[in-house]
Amino acid sequence: MTNTTTPQKKYELTETRRVTLDYVIILSALLIYAIFKSGTQALFLALISVITCTLVARLGEKILNTPFSSRLLTPVVIGLSVALMLPATAPWWIFVFTSAFAILVCVLPFGSPEKAPFVPASVAICFAILCWKEQVFSYSNTDASITQLLSQNISMGDNIASVLEVLVGNIPSAMGTGCAFILFGALVFLVIRRPKDSVPVLTFLLAVIIMAILFPRVGTGRFISLIMELCGGMLLFGAIFFISVPSVMPERMIARIVWGFTGGVICMIIRYIGAVEESACFGILITCAISDFFDKLPLTKKEKAQLQEMEIPVEIPITVVPDEVLEEIPDIPEENTEKTEETETSVETEEEIIVQESETLEEVISEENTVTDQQAPFVIGGGDDE
């Protein structure tokens, strides 16, 4: 069986592996923090999600004969994303059903995650929120989460200690969404590794910052409102891991900038008017669904100039043979050259003979005509005398 993978396909697979590996590195750091905070229960639940995603993906490959590349660690990324967005207090079977939903509904029907119009983990979390809202948001039996406080317009406090507790993750939250320090570190890692893909993430967070400052939900100051909106719930996690996925973002850079900013505004609006305490995933889901629209925005002057430079007139291609190739071409034998010259000479000789014969024939015909004209009067006259 021959390998028919094209260079373009190989490049896409290599790029997918690189992006997937970046996500695995960041998610592993968040998992280590979750284990430190929640113990081995966090590791157990994460393994359940990863194993479920991997088994369902492999089973789907065999049954549906789909090209879903489970060897690219994609099921691992989906499983870790789902697990880290759920609390350690949730039942294990929620992790199983949510992970299976992510693969069965959001991956296999499209063949691969890269062909899906949305991020599978974000859709799976929305499914879990709609089905098991109480278990998904049961972060703690005693303290309220940041999103619960914001939904009730209650501040976490305006002292430095409260801010530090939020930044280090000493608050009720999902397993991987609580520590803002690690998430901001993941954002820096993303900017360094994939600067173009991080542009919509930055504009998304810029819109969140502007909305939080202009429309605060707590009365202890705009800065506290900003910290609570940015570090509370799934918003920062979703921005880093869902908005940065190359397959769901627009192709053009200006479209990515506008798309990311629009997504941040949508998420904040849904947060303000949503019926659940955390609805950032629903806003991200809407943002991914409208990404194709932003590629239809008018071209900028720079883009028009680039298109004009690319419009090169069609010319007849000229093949330049390297000197090395010319040296390898064998020379024509001298005998063949002599034969060719003899053939050309013989052809020229035959043409000259034909021309000479035609000229001689014309001279003969003209002489006969002259003789006939001179003899004609004598013959006629002799007949009359007789």
The total number of residues shown for the chain amounts to: 386
Residue 331, amino acid: D
pLDDT of residue 3: 46
Task: Let me know: does 232 contact 156? Beta carbons within 8 Å.
Answer: no
Q: How far apart are the first and last CA of the chain?
A: 110
DSSP 75-95: HHHHHHHHHHTS-TTS-HHHH
310-326 per-residue burial string, b: 16 or more CB within 10 A, e: under 16: eeeeeeeeeeeeeeeee
CA distance 206 to 212: 10
Q: Which two tokens stand for residue 126?
A: 């929305």
The pLDDT, as a whole number, for residue 301 is 75
The SS3 of residue 90 is coil
> Is-contact 86 128, C-beta < 8 A?
yes
Measured between alpha carbons, how far is residue 185 from residues 18, 70, 128, 237, 264 in Å? 19, 28, 28, 12, 20
Contact between residue 212 and residue 229 where contact means Cβ atoms under 8 Å apart: yes
Cα dist from 259 to 54, 126, 192, 201, 256, whole Å: 32, 21, 21, 10, 5
Alpha carbon distance 204, 236 (integer Å): 10
What gap in Å lies between CA 336 and CA 331, rounded to an integer?
Answer: 11
Q: Where are the alpha helices (DSSP H) in 155-300?
A: 160-168, 180-193, 195-214, 222-231, 235-241, 253-273, 280-289, 291-294
Neighbour tally for 182: CB within 10 Å = 18
- 191, HSE (Cβ side, Cα atoms, 13 Å): 11
Amino acid identity for residue 5 in this structure = T
**Which is nearest to 74 in space by CA: 92, 99, 41, 98?**
99
pLDDT recorded at residue 2: 44
Q: Residue 10: what pLDDT?
A: 56
* DSSP state string for 103-143: HHHHTGGGSSGGGSSS-HHHHHHHHHHHH-HHHHT---SSS
Tell me the residue type at 191: V
3-state SS, residue 176: coil
Separation between Cα atoms, residue 136 and residue 87, nearest integer Å:
6
Per-residue pLDDT reduced to its tens digit, 152-179: 888 887 788 888 888 888 888 899 998 8
Per-residue confidence (pLDDT) for residue 12, from 0 to 100: 62
User: Which residues, in sequence order, are CB contacts of 138 under 8 Å at separation 6+?
Assistant: 87, 89, 90
Question: Chain-centre distance of CA 205, in angstroms?
Answer: 21
Mean pLDDT by 10 residues, the chain (386 residues): 51 73 92 92 95 90 68 85 93 95 88 81 93 87 79 82 85 88 94 93 96 90 90 91 90 92 94 85 90 84 74 52 57 49 54 63 60 45 42
Separation between Cα atoms, residue 276 and residue 234, nearest integer Å = 13
Distance of CA 117 to the CA centre of its chain: 11
Q: CA 318, CA 36: separation in Å to the nearest integer?
A: 66
- The single-letter DSSP state of residue 330 is P
What's the confidence (pLDDT) of residue 383?
44
